[in-house]
């Protein structure tokens, strides 16, 4: 495949998600989560020109950790926050809008299989 075709094919990929880590910086998970919610709401207002609606917050279990899934907070998709205190970080799982139903199943399989290692 030519470089241009590869680039166009990559741009057409809708089924993707990201995993990020951010340092705890001595914050509690509750404080971090509240800051993130407010930041997402403010960004939504700037981008969409209105307040987000139907905000949903639900608990999710990943391995031996509990996280919080925020739906309709971000204009671009869904986000899951997990407190990974064993490594002094918060994990952020980003699922953009527009993923296929099949890929949603793949994401759920991945999230259900996450295992967190503890410090020795």
Residue 4 belongs to some domain of the structure: no
pLDDT higher for 17 or 119? 17
Q: How does strand 18-23 pair with strand 77-84?
A: unpaired
Within-domain flag for 104: yes
Quick check: is 108 in a domain?
yes
Determine what percent of the chain falls in helix, strand and coil, rounding each to the nearest 5.
40, 30, 30
Does residue 94 form part of some domain?
yes
Residue 7 falls inside a structural domain: no
User: CA triplet 86, 70, 52: central angle to 5 degrees?
Assistant: 145
Question: What is the torsion angle, in degrees rounded to the nearest 10, for the CA atoms of residue 34, residue 111, residue 75 and residue 41?
Answer: 0
What gap in Å lies between CA 8 and CA 106, rounded to an integer?
24
Residues 61-85: pLDDT tens digits?
888 888 999 999 999 999 999 999 8
Number of structural domains, the chain?
1
Strand spans (E) along the chain: 18-23, 56-62, 65-74, 77-84, 89-96
Considering the domain boundaries, does residue 27 fall inside one?
Answer: yes
Please tell me whether residue 40 adopts helix, strand or coil conformation: helix
Question: Domain range spanning residue 58?
Answer: 15-112
How far is 29 from 47, CA to CA, in rounded Å? Answer: 27
Asked if the structure places residue 2 within a domain, the reply is no
Portion of the chain with pLDDT greater than 90, in percent: 54
pLDDT digits (tens, 9 = 90+) for 84-114: 988 889 999 999 888 888 888 888 888 888 8
16 compared with 5, residue with greater pLDDT: 16
Q: Indicate whether 1 belongs to any domain.
A: no
């Amino acid at each position: 495949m030519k470089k241009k075709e590869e680039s166009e094919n990559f741009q057409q990929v809708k089924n993707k998600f990201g995993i990020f880590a951010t340092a705890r910086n001595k914050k509690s998970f509750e404080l971090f989560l509240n800051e993130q919610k407010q930041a997402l709401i403010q960004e939504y207002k700037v981008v969409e020109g209105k307040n987000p609606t139907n905000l949903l917050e639900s608990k999710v279990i990943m391995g031996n950790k509990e996280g919080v899934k925020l739906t309709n907070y971000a204009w671009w998709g869904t986000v899951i926050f997990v407190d990974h205190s064993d490594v002094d970080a918060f994990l952020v799982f980003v699922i953009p809008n527009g993923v296929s139903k099949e890929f949603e199943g793949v994401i759920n399989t991945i999230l259900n299989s996450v295992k967190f290692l503890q410090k020795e």
